[in-house]
Each structure stands twice: as structure tokens, then as C-alpha cells.
Structure 1
Amino acid sequence: MKVFQRFSRGEAAHVRNISTLNHPRYRGQRGASAIEYAIILAVIGVAIVLAVQSGVMDSITDLLDTQISGITDSGDGDGT
């Protein structure tokens, strides 16, 4: 027995493995190409490099260090 998935226009298409990342679900859709994935990764990489160079990461690590030291200082374990 075949399993069908309805399109927006009412046509039915055979459903194979719809859990894959690059599988279009409806008519007219297409999956992203390798070039598009490479562009997305490049943009994310540039954003990370710029964040590290601008000092944003330093302020985030300082904030986390302050919060963690506050937690460890307040919980000295003597019960008071």
C-alpha cells in the first residue's frame, strides 16, 4: 500500500523519506544546494570572527566568570 501526502493543489505524491534535511515537502519547493550551505557557514564564521575581534567574547567570558565565582563564593558549604 502506497502512502501519499497531499499537495496544496490536491495532487498526491509518494512520500519516501521526509525526515531528510534536503527533501522538499510540497510541489514547487526545492532543497538548498551545497553552495547555499557554504554561504551560510561562511556568514556564520565571519560573524564569529568579528565578535571575537571586537571584544564581545571577552566581555561575555568576564560576565560568566563573575557569575560563576559569585555562585561558588556564596556556597562555601558551612551551612550558614
Structure 2
Amino acid sequence: FLDEEEARDILREAPGVMVIDKREDGGYVTPIECVGDYATFISRIRQDSTLDNGLNLWCVSDNLRKGAALNAVQIAETLGNRVLKKG
């Protein structure tokens, strides 16, 4: 079972992820606020009351900057680094 605090801590350490979860009105990032940034912003991390062991979260990013092409390159780099390190 992963609670919202643990999820928040894990996401804060994830590369390319920014957690903005102030738990107040307006304490989350909207799509217009992330324009021009490469990060994926995660907000409103909450337990899902409709699903056992579920979490809800709000994710936004600048799709022109952080889209499928950049994701593919980053995945290839990660896989390449892991394979090269294993030799």
C-alpha cells in the first residue's frame, strides 16, 4: 500500500518531475503555468476513495516541450546508459 505522502516523496525524487501540492485553493499547477518548461508537474496527490489502494493526481506539462519525441529520446538514453554500464 502506497499512501499519498510516500507517493509525494517518491515523485519529488523523480527526474523531470516537479511536485507542487500546496493543499490550498489554487495550490496546484495549471497547463498555462507550465508553458516553456520541460518538467512534468504533479499536483493534488490524494487517496482515491473509489478504489482500494488507489491514488489520484493531477499532471500537467508543456506538450510542445515534453512530448512523445522527447520522451522517446530520454527513454533511449536511460536504456543506453543501463546497457553500457553493464558492459
Fold shared, TM-score > 0.5 on shorter chain:
no
* TM-score normalised per structure 1: 0.34
Bigger fraction of residues in strand? 2
Bigger fraction of residues in helix? 1
Question: Higher Cα Rg: structure 1 or 2?
Answer: 1
